Structure 1
């Protein structure tokens, strides 16, 4: 019985990271970035599926706002860091580091990238968008 329990536990544990990888924005509430101005953890019981990913929200109201217009809340540049794009080595943004520029959410790879974007946000975003479109 013990080997069977151990095998079951091991198979479930290996499936958890795969499931968590399908969580959009690392499980943070995509609406919370603009509504609260900070990274707000989403709740596991308030979610929706969009573009093959599970999006979590801090409230039913935020989920409804997202479902009404998901493209306006989803991270721009497919969640890639605009600084890394302009530097020629695109990296996924970290949901804990972000900026909202022109009403759009941009995820950044680090504190340093966050500081750099604040120096000339629109110029960097425009350059990153041009590069990202050509890919």
Structure 2
């Protein structure tokens, strides 16, 4: 009985949502944001590793584009919300909430954050860059939560 339970757990584990959290962008195709204008789910069989994360793509062509220049498609600030960074906080962006400004992908935490950055990018982005630099320089990111 114990071995049957172990086998069931091993079979079901890949289907758990937590697995998708290990994927960059929650499994969305990074290239789709700029090429299609929206997040498109990536396929589990079309992926690559970059910066310790597994990136999934909806097509071989998109994977090749990403592999040729990953920084062009990866979200700025490591996927942190620029509005939160500008406020001095470290908050993960949601891959379904995003803006593209100057060919750069920014993940935001919400619709409200999307609207905020779109209404004042010239104020928010420099403040976010400062927050990002402070975060990268702080050994434990104290005060950025």
Report the TM-score when normalising by structure 1.
0.90
Say whether 1:4 aligns with 2:3: yes
After TM superposition, give the deviation of residue 52 of structure 1 in Å: 1.1
Matched, 1:59 2:55: no
- SS of the equivalent of 1:56 reads strand
Q: For 2:87 and 2:7, how far apart are their aligned partners in 1?
A: 45
Instruction: Report the counterpart of residue 39 of structure 1 in structure 2.
Output: 39
What secondary structure does 1:37 align onto? coil
Whole-Å Cα distance in 1 between the matches of residues 54 and 89 of structure 2?
A: 27
2:142 matched to which residue of 1? none
Matched residues, number: 134
Cα distance in 2 between the residues matched to 1:64 and 1:91: 30
- Asked whether 1:76 is paired with 2:66, we answer no
SS at match of 2:38: coil
Distance 1:4 1:61 in 2: 42
What are structure 1's unaligned runs of at least 5 residues? none
Q: Determine the C-alpha separation between the residues in 2 that align with 1:49 and 1:121.
A: 31
Aligned to 1:105: 105
- Give ranges in structure 2 of 5+ residues lacking alignment: 136-145
Please provide the CA RMSD for this pair. Answer: 1.7
Judge conservation of contact 1:22–1:52 (CA < 8 Å) in 2: no
Q: Is residue 20 from structure 1 mapped to residue 51 from structure 2 by the alignment?
A: no
1:82-121 to 2 correspondences below 5 Å: 82-121=82-121
The answer on whether the counterparts of 2:43 and 2:56 sit within 8 Å (CA) in structure 1 is yes
Which segments of structure 1 move beyond 3 Å, counting only runs of 4 or more?
11-19
- Equivalent-residue separation in structure 1 for 2:122 and 2:8 (angstroms): 49
Rounded to whole Å, the distance in 2 between the matches of 1:46 and 1:66 is: 12
